Chains A and B, each alone.
Chain A
């Protein structure tokens, strides 16, 4: 009688253990997906902040400037009218309204000045 109870219990316990292992795998998978998503959101957020500053300064006209901080671990690059922000596994992209954008220096973690110099938007460390 005791053996029957134990056997049933072990079958249930086996399924429970199996479920826990599967749950853990699914949880890890979901966590990885969520982290990738958050990383993409973060990179996109940096790209949006800088594209907003660049577009605003360009549209404002020569002499306009803006200062904002580039988050640590992120790097800026401009390809034609697209601002690319790389950092972590993702690249954030944001559109620019002009191709007259020149990144002179933008060190991660430091403040960056975005300035319109006679129609050319220049970025350099503040």
Chain B
């Protein structure tokens, strides 16, 4: 009887230890998968932000979009420059006019390839003074991707800052 009890206790102890190890493995597995998912989402967000910031440094299509009413079928792509790394002043003025309207915001972010994300971008002087911006800045604590690009505006160096978040 004593030997039998010892064997049973041994089995139950091993069983309990095995449950603990198995549970820990499952929890770790799920944690790693969640972490991998988060990491992948972050990579995707960085990639779309990079593509959108490159797009801002193009004239857009049509290249004189600032002279027309924009909508999803007329604006094939969005950009702020007139030539390589030279920001066009009239486009800066136009984004000031477009800002604050949800319809325009949707059209512009879609034209930047950011359908599933939120976006804010601005053109700043080197000392940080904001010249013009579009969209609303990401809420505090959100995991946003921010990309700065150097450009020229009326012969002055400026920074084009783009922030993307979800």
Spot the interface stretch: B15-23, B96-104, B151-159: B15-23
Count chain B residues whose beta carbon lies closer than 8 angstroms to a beta carbon of A. 39
Write out the residue numbers on chain A whose beta carbons fall within 8 Å of the beta carbon of B47. 48, 51-52, 94
Whether A30 lies near B29 (C-beta < 8 A) is: yes
Binds B, one of A7-15, A63-71, A103-111: A7-15
Known contacts A34-B33, A82-B115, A95-B116; is-contact A100 B76 (Cβ 8 Å): yes
Interface membership of B52, Cβ < 8 A: yes
Give the CA-CA distance A97 to B114 in the complex, in Å: 8
Interface of A is mostly: helix
Interface centre among B33, B36, B40, B77 (most CB of A within 10 A): B77
Which chain B residue shows the least CB distance to A99? B76
Q: Check if B132 is an interface residue, CB within 8 A of chain A.
A: no
B54 in complex: contacting residue of A6, A9, A15, A59, CB < 8 Å: A59
Which chain A positions have C-beta within 8 A of B113?
51, 55, 81, 95-98
Interface residues of B (CB under 8 A from A): 1, 3-5, 7-8, 11-12, 15, 18-19, 22, 26, 29-30, 33, 36-37, 40, 44, 47-48, 51-52, 54-55, 58, 61, 72, 76-78, 110-116
Binding site for B on A (CB under 8 A): 1-2, 4-6, 8-9, 11-13, 15-16, 19, 23, 26, 30, 33-34, 37, 41, 44, 48, 51-52, 55, 58-59, 80-82, 93-100, 119
